[in-house]
Amino acid sequence: MSPISYKDYDGLGLAELVRKKEVQPNELVECAIQEIERHNPNLNAVIHKMYEQAKQSLDMPIPEGRFMGVPMLLKDITQEVKGEPITSGSRSLQQYRAAEDSNYVRKLREVGAIFLGQTNVPEFALMGNTEPAFYGPTKNPWNMGHTPGGSSGGSAAAVASGMVPIAGANDGGGSIRIPAAYCGLFGLKPTRGRTPVGPTVGRNWQGASVDHVLTRSVRDSAAMLDELSVHEKSAAHHAPLFQGSYLDYANIPLEHPMKIAFSFDSPLGTEVHPECREAVLKTVKMLESMGHHVEEKTPAIDGVKLANSYMMMYFGEVAAAIKSSEQVLGRKARFNDVEATTWILGLLGKSMSAEEFVLHLREWDKAAYIMEQFHETYDFYVTPTTAFPPAKIGELDPSPMQKLAINLIGKMRLGSLLKKTGIVDQLATESLMRTPFTQLANLTGQPAMSVPLHQTADGLPCGVQFMAARGSEHLLYQLAGELEESPYWLDFRENPVFQA
């Protein structure tokens, strides 16, 4: 099979060729390796290669699952493969080796996927861009001067460039949807508790983070969610198992006009780029032409308060991640073990009280209740996926003066002092200003998807986000399946790296 024809198929298409014996899994693996070796030196999407392990796995019978023989990449956080490193983008974990497969990886093995490596992430998956100090930045296949987003930026760049049709991803604040928006891909964050998290933990980021995939086609995402959906007994959160097939729904048009709310105002009250606003307006017109009832309406949620509650969780999880890294380091963590900004976030986490943490988590449940009421009226809530198109590589780095202050504060361990300065509000605004729309679904537990419906004047993808009530992934897939046929759906094959 030639690399060109390999890139023409999505995951289900490749698996169908394997089932019909028109191509052998080893041929697909070789094609994928060729594409990784061709593009990765420029994109830096894959940071750990597992070629030999993949070839050895072909010596054993491949499970005759839905993705039999399909090459995949996994994200370098939580998606553990026994015996392989997984660093979460941090030098502090470079000596770690997984003791067993994660349940997510086990499910993928059962459907016949072949793993070729792991993809780049920002340290501890903390940023909406993928520029870890340990591995260096991943670049966007549409324009290599720009970020592919984060934290699943390596996976997005790999899929958009044609290395693999599907890559592992997870989403704790937009980490599937943001890279999908920036790379012209489809990305759906499932309902909380829908996909596996074990066996070593019962929740990730207090349940905000959910594992799934990034794909080029809607049907690959839907079929993969069919396979990944699970009632995991040891998990902290459970979504009722869906009595149907998401793949089937992706092929069924919505039966009646939907009531749809939309907004392009940032929940933080900050700027939204004209291209991102245009993406929503264009989508609204298309939805109206499809017969749906669309009106501008925003849920009655205090976006700033919710952003602060998200950041409080964020600080606590960073502090815990740094503390946990000491088991690998074999000593107390030091300032130079992680990036300076990560260390500052950890100091803020250490300075929080248990009372503060609990009170902020309660805001999640209040927002969830409001959104459930909102979805009694509106089937979907539409916003830009991000408030700005992709930033340039390095654009979001701290200034020299900020770096100096960060290093000084970090080395002096002034976390308590930081809290008194009002920096939490400032960090919430500055950190989320470019991506203020995605966190809501993580905190409420709702499913949400980014669809590639717009391209900027500079040729960069710009996604549109759709949210639905908990457990309503099937409705999102139905709508996505229809939108995929529209003339606005971005063709990932038009990006320069894919064509190379």
Task: Please pick, among 75, 107, 139, 189, the residue that the annotation labels catalytic.
Answer: 75
User: 292: helix, coil or strand?
Assistant: coil
| Phi, then psi, of 343 in degrees rounded to 5 | -60, -40
Q: Is the pLDDT of residue 252 over 80?
A: yes
Section 196-206 average pLDDT? 96
pLDDT, residue 418, reads: 61
Q: Is the pLDDT of residue 318 over 70?
A: yes
Section 24-52 average pLDDT? 98
Question: What Rg value do the Cα atoms of the chain yield, rounded?
Answer: 21
Section 442-453 average pLDDT? 98
Task: Please pick, among 88, 102, 151, 217, the residue that the annotation labels catalytic.
Answer: 151
pLDDT, residue 422, reads: 57
pLDDT, residue 428, reads: 64
Section 203-219 average pLDDT? 98
pLDDT, residue 399, reads: 77
| Phi, then psi, of 467 in degrees rounded to 5 | -115, 150
Can 217 be counted among the known catalytic residues? no
Q: Is the pLDDT of residue 475 over 80?
A: yes
Section 421-440 average pLDDT? 79
Can 472 be counted among the known catalytic residues? no
pLDDT, residue 355, reads: 96
pLDDT, residue 313, reads: 95
Q: Is the pLDDT of residue 23 over 90?
A: yes
Task: Say if residue 151 is preceded by a cis peptide, omega within 30 of 0.
Answer: yes
Rounded to whole angstroms, the Cα distance separating 1 from 236 reads 44
Section 175-201 average pLDDT? 98
User: Which band of pLDDT confidence, cut at 50, 70 and 90, is reported for residue 184?
Assistant: very high
49-63, 277-291, 406-420, 471-485: least confidently modelled range? 406-420
Residue 48 exposure: Cα atoms within 13 Å on the Cβ side: 23
Residue 419 exposure: Cα atoms within 13 Å on the Cβ side: 16
Distances (CA, A) of 163 to 101, 151, 498: 23, 18, 9
Section 274-298 average pLDDT? 98
As a whole number, the mean pLDDT across the chain is 94
Please, are residues 190 and 212 in contact by the beta-carbon 8 Å criterion? yes
57-66, 255-264, 429-438, 479-488: least confidently modelled range? 429-438
Please, are residues 138 and 148 in contact by the beta-carbon 8 Å criterion? yes
Q: Which residue has better confidence, 348 or 422? A: 348
Q: Is the pLDDT of residue 421 over 60?
A: no
Provide DSSP, 394-451. Answer: TTTSPPHHHHHHHHHHHHHT-HHHHHHTTHHHHHHHHHHSSS-SSHHHHHHT--EEEE
User: Which band of pLDDT confidence, cut at 50, 70 and 90, is reported for residue 227?
Assistant: very high
Kindly report, residue by residue over 75-120, the tens digit of the pLDDT: 999 999 999 999 999 999 999 999 999 999 999 999 999 999 999 9
User: Which band of pLDDT confidence, cut at 50, 70 and 90, is reported for residue 469?
Assistant: very high
Distances (CA, A) of 247 to 226, 232, 253, 305, 478: 7, 22, 12, 37, 9
The fold of 6-298+436-494 is Amidase signature (AS) enzymes (3.90.1300)
- Per domain, the residue ranges of the chain are 6-298+436-494
pLDDT, residue 430, reads: 76
Distances (CA, A) of 34 to 81, 93, 139, 163, 448: 23, 29, 19, 8, 34
pLDDT, residue 417, reads: 58
Rounded to whole angstroms, the Cα distance separating 371 from 299 reads 7
Which tokens sit at 107? 């499910």
User: Which band of pLDDT confidence, cut at 50, 70 and 90, is reported for residue 431?
Assistant: confident
Kindly report, residue by residue over 139-169, the tens digit of the pLDDT: 999 999 999 999 999 999 999 999 999 999 9
With CA atoms as reference, report the closest residue to 181 among 161, 224, 152: 152
Task: Please pick, among 92, 152, 175, 431, the residue that the annotation labels catalytic.
Answer: 175
| Buried b / exposed e along 356-380 (16+ C-beta atoms within 10 A) | bbeebbebbebbbebbeebbeebbb
Residue with tokens 């749906």, as numbered in its chain: 292
Rounded to whole angstroms, the Cα distance separating 342 from 91 reads 12
Q: Is the pLDDT of residue 426 over 60?
A: yes
Can 5 be counted among the known catalytic residues? no
Please, are residues 69 and 28 in contact by the beta-carbon 8 Å criterion? yes
